Chain A
Amino acid sequence: MAEITIQNLVKTYPGQTERATDDVSLHVDDGEFMVLLGPSGCGKTTLLRMVAGLELPDAGSVHIGGRDVTYLPPNKRNLSMVFQSYAVFPHRRVRHNIGFGLAMAKVPKAEIEKKVAWAADLLQLGPYLDRYPAQLSGGQRQRVAVARAIVMDADVLLMDEPLSNLDALLRLGFRAELKRIVEQIGTTTLYVTHDQVEALSLGDRIAVMRTGQVAQLGRPIEVYDHPSDTFVGGFIGSPPMNFLDAMAHGGVDGGVDGGTITVGDAKLPAPGGLPDGPVRLGIRAEAISVVDAHTEGAVPAMVDVVEPLGAATLLTVRVGEQEVKVQVPPDVNVRNGQTVHLSLTPRAMRLYDAETGLGLDLR
């Protein structure tokens, strides 16, 4: 186990003009589960591959456990990794796939067997140890890939979208299992995904990446509740955060509790200290509720789409020209075309600069 310190990593792929990672720095604590989250092309996999040594950076450094590994080959870094494609060796039986890293390190046979048995037990691979990968299902191959990674006494466990090739049901089941296993072995983990639900459910912390940079770094609930900008808010959550064009009125002298925000015709209370002018109001679907028309500060809206999801009902409504997602309890009875009134939970409102999309820090 070890901490990972990434400093100012810059990487531009040959023939490209844009940087794949642009001066990224990140510290992962010993034993921490860090998720790199972002849309495809944001540089998260490149960053992981530089930690693995599969790509070399143009500038910057990677330290693992205080050791500078920036230019060390992968086999000298004491890592283990789960690949998106699994990369389970087709010519080796499951047993010899799981024990691959140990065999390469010339660990005594008896010890390899013991560890393989332990990992196989943990991942329910016992009955398949003498099969070849071609005789396994995709989910089982994935388990082999994870088993192969956890038997290593590695400093760092790297995972590159390990669940993305599984079907939805398997993914859900295996996600919980993966969390349990990683918590049990306690290895420092760097996990790449583009699936925000995965990131929220697995990570101790999440680094949201965009165009080669870390847009926000924080615990899942922080990232979810307080997105640092409209990009992060729009990327995390299902549905993503709503953003409404609004006008802020800071009140007298930026006085406390003095501000208001106008959305359409509705006036909402807002924290003080706001500069007058246009802002983007961010609010999550579950922080909006449908209320009685006479409620103070209720925003009228027109229902466009009603999607019952079982546990909740998702409404797509229009506030003026702006589309808003609202999550209401399943027993709320609304129909298409109906006018409803929305109440926005004040402490769930986030304000962003209308031009840059950056959060206005008013907490």
Chain B
Amino acid sequence: MARARRTRAVPPAYLLIAPSVVFMALLLGWPMVSGILQAFVGPDGVTGAYLQRMNSDPAFWSAVRNTLLLIVVLLPLQFLFALVMAFLLQARPKGHALYFYLWAIPLAVSDLAAGLVWLSIFTDRGYLNSVLETLGLGSVSWLSYENYGSMFVAILIAELWRATSLVLVIVISGMQGIPKDYDEAANVFGASYLQRLRHVWLPLLKPSLQVALILRTILAFQTFAVAQALTGQDFPVLVGETYRWYTALQNPHVASAIAMVVMAVSMVTAVIYLKTLRDSTKGAS
């Protein structure tokens, strides 16, 4: 009977996705538009002045350098740790369920809280120095702006602790979707454990790794609370600069300009990942 009367009503599919479209528009679309406006429009119309101001601030470039350095060192380590942990769990040692929950706990800890926990470890009178002093090794100012290396390592460790569990959870869920038969077949055909990792598990995990990589890279560009808690402004990162311009320097325009940079870089990276890691095994040859 619906066929008889050709109505011009809105197709139900559009009605069904309407709530999420509205949601996206309000919570993602609008902030993005207002961010762009704020970054490029001043009292006298469209301007590049804010970008220039951002560019001429030496802290901006050290923030770029720090953020990139963090990503380049952090991500490979995170993936290595997550994969090793996932394969350890897969071997189903005694209490593997408990290990999984322990390793997933950081997922539930807010990044600022994590930063504060690690601050209590690395600060001048923190746990680490107490242990060192007890052992008679003297204390070190881990988080002093004079010790760039130790500052970086402290943030690296804190981020490693805090965010590796996300990769782990994604890898484990990917693993659970892979039938056991592939591993068994490879095993019967003479593949050693390492050969099976390389020729069976890792290729089959590629889609999960891709998701984790995109998520983690974008999130790593947004590293902020941990660095802020541990070092204040001594180890500037991109989002930290946004925060500084917005609060300390009271300049939302430059803050938005930096946010735009973060967004652009994140999008470009995601596109590159999607293109280079595309699954070539399906579709017509």
Contacts and interface: CB of A to CB of B under 8 A. Distances in A.
Contacts, number: 81
**For the complex, would chain B's binding face be called helix, strand, loop or mixed by DSSP majority?**
helix
B276 interface: no
Contacts of B184: 52, 54, 74, 83, 87
B204 A91 contact: yes
Contacts of B203: 89, 91-92
Interface in B197-253: 199-200, 203-204, 206
Interface string A142-169: 0000001000100000100000000000
Interface in A126-142: 130-135
Interface residues of A, number: 31
A80 interface: yes
B55 interface: no
Nearest to B284: A135
A31 interface: no
Contacts of A131: 285
Contacts of A54: 184, 187-188
Contacts of A104: 186, 189-192, 195, 199
A130 B285 contact: yes
Given A89-B200, A104-B195, A79 B188 contact: yes
A12 interface: no
Interface in A26-83: 52-54, 73-75, 77-81, 83
A89 B182 contact: yes
B180 to A, nearest CB: 9
Contact of B181 (A80, A87, A148): A87
A132 B282 contact: yes
B187 A78 contact: no
Contacts of B179: 85, 87
Given A83-B184, A87-B179, A87-B181, A101 B190 contact: yes
A53 B189 CA distance: 12
A104 B185 CA distance: 12
B284 A152 contact: no
Interface in A250-287: none
B182 A134 contact: no
Contacts of B204: 90-91
A130 B281 CA distance: 11
A105 interface: yes
Contacts of A77: 188
B281 A152 contact: no
Contacts of B185: 81, 83, 87, 89
Contacts of A81: 185, 188-189
A100 interface: yes
A79 B282 CA distance: 30
Chain B interface residue count: which class? 20 to 34
Contact of B182 (A52, A87, A105): A87
Given A85-B181, A104-B195, A91 B281 contact: yes
A260 to B, nearest CB: 56
A209 B284 CA distance: 44
Nearest to A158: B188
B59 to A, nearest CB: 46
A131 B285 CA distance: 7
Given A54-B184, A83-B181, A83-B185, A90 B191 contact: no
Interface string A88-111: 011110000000110011000000
Contact of A132 (B181, B200, B206, B281): B281
A101 B182 CA distance: 13
A80 B206 contact: no
Given A90-B204, A91-B206, A132 B190 contact: no
Interface string B162-185: 000000000000000001011011
Contacts of B199: 89, 92, 100, 104
Contact of A90 (B192, B195, B281, B284): B281
Nearest to A85: B181
A33 B179 CA distance: 29
A97 to B, nearest CB: 10
Contacts of A100: 186, 189, 191, 199
Contacts of A89: 182, 185-186, 199-200, 203
Q: Which 6 A-B pairs have the closest CB atoms?
A: A101-B189, A87-B181, A87-B185, A132-B281, A91-B203, A74-B187
29 contacts: A53-B187, A54-B184, A54-B188, A73-B187, A74-B184, A74-B188, A75-B190, A77-B188, A79-B188, A80-B189, A83-B184, A87-B181, A87-B184, A89-B186, A90-B204, A91-B204, A92-B203, A100-B189, A101-B190, A104-B190, A104-B192, A130-B285, A131-B285, A132-B282, A132-B285, A133-B281, A134-B283, A152-B189, A152-B190
Given A52-B188, A85-B181, A104-B199, 17 more contacts: A54-B188, A74-B188, A75-B187, A75-B188, A75-B190, A81-B189, A83-B181, A87-B182, A90-B204, A91-B203, A92-B199, A130-B285, A132-B285, A134-B282, A134-B283, A135-B282, A148-B189
Interface of A: 52-54, 73-75, 77-81, 83, 85, 87, 89-92, 100-101, 104-105, 130-135, 148, 152, 158
Interface of B: 179, 181-182, 184-192, 195, 199-200, 203-204, 206, 280-285
